[in-house]
Structure 1
């Protein structure tokens, strides 16, 4: 007999240990537009989208800005998207807080007048999105017959 150990015969039921593969990394989802900070969302997404929506109706706003100031008609400080359309029609989309999910109101004024009525805006919607905000504001302005003949 020899003093050298016999070579071990591999057991066919035994599988060789596979090299450990790193777990596939899930690609991070880009944040939703609506999760951006309020001012960035309004400036980078909402206002350009609104300008495009108005342009689709042949209108170029005289002014379109996000400001913090006194809410029309009822007072109180809030964030507002203030717009003016030719020939001097004005609107204020007011946010109770610096968040698109917060309560919203809208006020409108024809040329040469001050707003006299403030209305709730998107009060029944559970999730506010950019397309929803844009479509409903344009729908409301169209209801005033500000976007062309109906």
Structure 2
């Protein structure tokens, strides 16, 4: 099948299919004229990559997961360890995002939001220093 057909069958854009090939995650066959041809096995790989990306696995982890998927003699313990390491990274990122959201809420709470030009949000962005940490609920200055 053509790249367009592979894209429709896998849910992966043509641009990303080319990218995955360029970085060695996918190895479609080439016809004599140089055109790529995609088999059902390639579609399965593309779907695997898409599902792993939906779970926010980085490309290097996807490379490792693909290798484990292809290795029928693999130990599931290695897959589990990789998944749990990713869970820890996601939880750390979620914590960092929550801290950022709390800081922005704090700044927004101290912005008058009226016609005055004073704005602690812009001031903080211009200063570039550490964003103030919000005080516990009910303890605003």
TM-score (norm 2): 0.22
Which structure: larger Rg?
1
The normalised TM-score by structure 1 is 0.21
The structure that is strand-richer by fraction is: 1
Greater relative contact order, per chain length (Cα 8 Å cut-off, separation 6+): 1
